[in-house]
Amino acid sequence: MFDESVRRGVRFFDTGDSYGTGKFNARAEQLLGTFLAECPARGAGQVCLATKLAPYPWRVTPGQLVGAARASDERLGGRLGMAQLHWSAGNYAPLQERALWSGLAGIYDAGLADHVGVSNFGPRQLEKIQRYLVAQRGLPEAALASNQIQFSLLSQDPRGAKAAGDALGVTTIAYSPLCLGLLTGKYSRTNLPPGPRGYLFAKLLPDLEPLLDLQREIAGARRKTPAQVAINWTICQGAFPIVGVKNVSQLQENLGAVGWRLSAGEVDELTAVASRVKQTQQNIFMTA
């Protein structure tokens, strides 16, 4: 899947040092580093590997976050392109927050990553860290490249985070653009995924029928799939979607969401219909 992604033009891969922890010891980063080092596809040299550094309770000094970035860079084969704070400690350990911001600046100053970013930052917290990095640490405004938030038809600009990012020149990276699969059009009240998702979907899907019907209508007219329509909607909003894949078939479907654009009318209609259904709950670490 990695090789096929690069061959098809994908140049950005997102992971985190908390993915595959415990006995696997940040296995996700190790695998991505290996995949990139062995990738035979043209364009591998232009790939950006981005990781998210978890604000673990023991990371209480700037140097500890810088050290975490060095460890991630080593696991990624020396190809760390962007280091991000996985979430803000502002909701539960505000005294830790300034050290994390300083560590992020230290990562940039040390040249460990070309860009730095954050995740799950609300508008006020995003403005604060941008002001700190530029005014107090002297980083260029473009150094803070992104804010990764839950963003989809069912999570439209949570708390105004994307609007704040747009004003600051910070790109919104949209995680969960398909809302755990709710927006793929593959599930119904009689066809549910296994496990806890099935229980959740059984409650949510009845209210989503008008939106899913509209996705199917637009998809049919454009010879696309409902999932491709949902992903393209995030692109049309100016966000940068990241989508998980489990097999090559899913990869091929997701890549079918790029290279075209919904019309302004289609975007407006999808936005309006989605706004009338219940929006998803935000990540518990999402700040104001």
Q: Which residues are catalytic?
A: 19
Q: Are 32 and 3 contacting, i.e. CB atoms less than 8 angstroms apart?
A: no
DSSP state of 258: S
Angstrom distance (rounded) from CA 49 to CA 237: 24
Crossing angle of helices 27-38 and 62-75, rounded to 10°: 40
Q: Are 40 and 11 contacting, i.e. CB atoms less than 8 angstroms apart?
A: no
Nearest to 154 by CA among 120, 177, 172: 177
Angstrom distance (rounded) from CA 227 to CA 256: 9
Listed in order, strand segments (DSSP E) in the chain are 12-16, 48-53, 80-85, 115-119, 144-150, 171-175, 240-242
Angstrom distance (rounded) from CA 234 to CA 267: 9
Angstrom distance (rounded) from CA 93 to CA 60: 10
